[in-house]
Amino acid sequence: MDWKLNLKTTGPKPKYRQLMDFINSAVASGRLKPGDRIPSVAELANRLSVNKATVVRAFRELERQKLIVSQVGRGSFVAARAPKSGEPAQRDGDADDQAVLTRPEVVGLVRRLRDTHVSGVVQLLRVDPPKPFINLWAGVPPETTIPPGLLERAAVRASRHHREALYRYHHNGLPQLRERLAKWLATRGYDLAPDQILITNGSQQAIGLIATWALNEQRTAVVETPTYIGTPRLFMQTGTMLETVPWDGPQLRSDRLTRAVRASPSVVYCCPEFHNPTGQCLSADGRAALVDVAARWDAVVVVDDIFRDLRFAGKETPSLYVQLPPGRRVLVGSFSKTFMPGLRIGFLAADRPLIEELAVIRRWMDLGGSPVTQAIMADLLENTYPGHLETMRAHYRQRRDAARDALRSSMPDGVTFTVPDGGFSLWVQLPSGSSAIQVYLRALEQGVTIYPGPAHDIDGRYLNCFRLCYGWPSPDEIRRGVEILGRIVRETLKRGPLDATATGVGVPL
């Protein structure tokens, strides 16, 4: 059969849908007959001048319609019982659902609904508390954890040792920092060469880089929830298709995860160590599920290990990144949580040739970022960072203990919370029907700030949950803040679940 096809780059129908229509038409007209072999993904991508992800996605959808079958080691073939001319292709329930969810008008509507929710939550979080207030929502270390003069001394040494390099662009990041970072990561169990590492403007830029790559590759973003809401929001801003998969105890819901990655080539984002916001670590079963997803399906797993260095209790496990198959993994990290956010030093690492594809995108984002702050971080890694990290672990453990003890003594029956072995946030869950936004607003009035659950989900779930960060305040402030929260929660529960929607405006205030 003649496989000449000009896939249009404009119009509402994506390229993979155009390819599906072409094959459907060829089968219906008899140009392709049952048992006929279809060109391989690589061959068809080359003929049509498209990337492989486009062809893979079309093949997946056609398999779901039972129009073609794929056999390992042999290729893809027209199904033995293909639809006749004028007869619709068979679909199962999941395929019907997926077809609806990928229609352009539905995708646009969902995006607008999510944008509205996120915008509303952001406005709510901008309400200033009375001063002074107890800060139980800040997800960054306080400046008091940096010894006086440490930053200044590092800056002086960096300007002396790297003076010539400070006057140049370094598109993938300052070479000295990439070298020292590779050595540091080796002590943490990673086997990464300097040229497999890209320095980014914090971990947020690293995720933005991945989002851009996913859009170029026509991959769906599959993001855990609850999560730091900036992650799914960043994928949405690029125009990438987005699916969310809830945490179910210490792992992602396997049925939702499998359904999402089977539907199309994907990028799966997960923060497996001291997950933001719950503080949980992904279980062995949860890690095995992601490894299986990467091995079986066309999925690349993004491992956000930003909190991994902050373990202060329990047994350390190998990073999920080292367990994943090569070529199907990306590592994201940052020094914003372990040292200070103001340096804006993050990094991204991956296997070749994936890192080479990402490096092309990275170059044109900001030509490599500031070599000055990168030189300072290179100096800190060499001289100060390991010792400072031990200090930070002790700092967070002391405050975790204060938060745990205060919650145990102040919260009423029916309230549960996580007790993490690292990081600086935990997850409080009120009885079903309660409103964490109501607790948030009342706490705000009394000078205590928390992060309500709907602010961690683009679809506004987790109404009865909130994140409590214990890294910023002193242990005494934590105790006083949690005592106030305990009184507010008790009052809220006494009013009963119906009070949470008594406003009648659809938002559980």
Query: pLDDT tens-digit profile of 5-32?
Result: 877 655 557 788 888 888 888 888 888 8
To the nearest whole number, what is the mean pLDDT of the chain? 87
Q: What is the DSSP letter of 312?
A: -
Mean pLDDT of 326-338: 94
Residues whose CB falls within 8 Å of the CB of residue 375, separated by 6 or more in sequence, listed in order:
158, 159, 161, 162, 165, 166, 174, 176, 177
Q: Could you tell me the pLDDT band of residue 264, with boundaries at 50, 70 and 90?
A: confident
Amino acid letter, residue 475: P
Mean pLDDT of 354-378: 90
Q: pLDDT value at position 71?
A: 65
Percent of the chain with pLDDT over 90: 58
The answer, yes or no, to whether residue 409 has pLDDT greater than 80, is yes
For residue 481, give the H/E element and its range: helix 475-495
The answer, yes or no, to whether residue 82 has pLDDT greater than 70, is no
Instruction: Round to the nearest angstrom and report the end-to-end CA distance of the chain.
Output: 62
**Residue 193 or residue 21, greater confidence:** 193
The answer, yes or no, to whether residue 398 has pLDDT greater than 90, is yes
At 331 the three-state DSSP class reads strand
Q: pLDDT value at position 506?
A: 35
Q: pLDDT value at position 72?
A: 54
Mean pLDDT of 339-357: 92
User: Which range among 79-83, 115-119, 282-286 has the greatest average pLDDT?
Assistant: 282-286
pLDDT tens digits, one per residue of 214-242:
998 889 999 999 999 999 999 998 888 89
Give the chain's length: 509
Cα gap 2→486, rounded to integer Å: 71
Cα gap 244→246, rounded to integer Å: 7
Which of 160-164, 245-249, 257-261, 318-322 has the lowest average pLDDT?
160-164
Residue 300 near residue 261, CB atoms below 8 Å: no
- Structure token pair of residue 185: 């990561």
Q: Taking each helix axis from N to C terminus, what angle separates 104-125 and 93-101, rounded to the nearest 10 degrees?
A: 70
User: Domain extents for the chain?
Assistant: 15-105, 121-139+390-501, 170-383
Mean pLDDT of 474-488: 98
Residues whose CB falls within 8 Å of the CB of residue 101, separated by 6 or more in sequence, listed in order:
107, 110
Residue 23: closest CA among 49, 2, 50, 43: 2
- Structure token pair of residue 508: 């559980």
Strand 346-350 to strand 134-135: parallel, antiparallel, or no bridges (unpaired)? unpaired
Q: pLDDT value at position 473?
A: 96
- The fourth-level CATH superfamily of domain 121-139+390-501 is Aspartate Aminotransferase, domain 1 (3.90.1150.10)
Q: If you write DSSP's letter for every residue of 371-410 in order, what string do you get?
A: HHHHHHHHHHHHHTHHHHHHHHHHHHHHHHHHHHHHHHHH
Cα gap 212→231, rounded to integer Å: 13
Q: pLDDT value at position 387?
A: 92
At 368 the three-state DSSP class reads coil
- Structure token pair of residue 430: 């009120």
Mean pLDDT of 427-432: 96
Cα gap 482→403, rounded to integer Å: 7
Cα gap 98→90, rounded to integer Å: 14
pLDDT tens digits, one per residue of 451-468:
999 999 999 999 999 999
Residue 371 near residue 174, CB atoms below 8 Å: yes
170-383 CATH, one of 3.90.1200.10, 1.10.1030.10, 3.40.640.10, 3.20.20.70: 3.40.640.10
Which of 40-44, 282-286, 329-333, 482-486 has the lowest average pLDDT?
40-44
Fold of 15-105: Arc Repressor Mutant, subunit A (1.10.10)
Q: pLDDT value at position 45?
A: 84
Residue 287 near residue 250, CB atoms below 8 Å: no
Mean pLDDT of 390-413: 97
SS3 letters for 144-167?
HHCCCCHHHHHHHHHHHHCCHHHH
Residue 424: what are its φ and ψ, rounded to 5°? -145, 35
User: Which residues pair with residue 292 across a beta bridge?
Assistant: none
Residue 19 near residue 58, CB atoms below 8 Å: yes
Cα gap 370→116, rounded to integer Å: 34
Cα gap 82→423, rounded to integer Å: 54
Q: What is the DSSP letter of 422?
A: B
Tell me how far CA of residue 335 lies from CA of 342, 349, 391, in angstroms. 10, 15, 15
